[in-house]
Chains A and B, each alone.
Chain A
Amino acid sequence: NAGVMQNPRHLVRRRGQEARLRCSPMKGHSHVYWYRQLPEEGLKFMVYLQKENIIDESGMPKERFSAEFPKEGPSILRIQQVVRGDSAAYFCASSPYTGNNSPLHFGNGTRLTVT
């Protein structure tokens, strides 16, 4: 039973390029969350999606960032015109349902470096 799969594991982009991060949730999980971890900081919530719907994007920067979770295929976090401050580890998590006892399963992250 594969866990949450994120790819690529490492991504290097030059300033101004686009970054596309992919996340395949665990089998049977329809809830996907994206978090960002800056160096020496805790994880910060970005967005929560269910299939084809963005439920809560209150943690997403207003510009350049977007996320989707289509009916078929992985969830995508897209960062347009990247800047050095976007360099971070981006983690995806999935869960089978919501609620206090809903376990979150994290992937191993994509480490984005903007040069």
Chain B
Amino acid sequence: TQLLEQSPQFLSIQEGENLTVYCNSSSVFSSLQWYRQEPGEGPVLLVTVVTGGEVKKLKRLTFQFGDARKDSSLHITAAQPGDTGLYLCAGDLNFGNEKLTFGTGTRLTIIP
């Protein structure tokens, strides 16, 4: 059973386009994190959202935590080739980050 479903699994778009990836669950999370992972490397934390409805911006990336804290989205504006990578969401069920539940990821390719 996959607690966190990410969609789409793969996404390939042209440079300059906008995109949204989704992270959905039937469970309520105390917080949710988004990571980016490059081939051969470990995940790198992009953002943590904690409050239902919270929106955080990181340059061209906008992260939103659902009101019920069961889902999240990542929106990228004017995608660049440097945005290419595997995007992972990870939820914390226990208010402690000790045992994060990871989604299977969205593999994003930006075509120059």
Residues of A within 8 A of B (CB): 4, 31, 33, 35, 40-45, 48, 55-56, 58-59, 91, 93, 95, 98-109
The chain A residue with its CB closest to the CB of B100 is: A45
The chain B residue with its CB closest to the CB of A59 is: B99
Q: Are A95 and B42 in contact, CB atoms less than 8 angstroms apart?
A: no
In which size bucket is the chain B interface?
Answer: 20 to 34
Q: Are B42 and A45 in contact, CB atoms less than 8 angstroms apart?
A: no
Report the minimal beta-carbon distance from A75 to chain B, rounded to whole angstroms: 15
Contacting A at CB under 8 A, from B35-50, are 35, 40-45, 48, 50
CA distance A44 to B4 in the complex (A): 12
Contacts of B50 in A (CB 8 A): 100-101
Q: Knowing A42-B88, A56-B98, A59-B99 are in contact, say whether A103-B105 is a contact too (CB < 8 A).
A: no
Q: Knowing A42-B88, A43-B43 are in contact, say whether A104-B99 is a contact too (CB < 8 A).
A: no
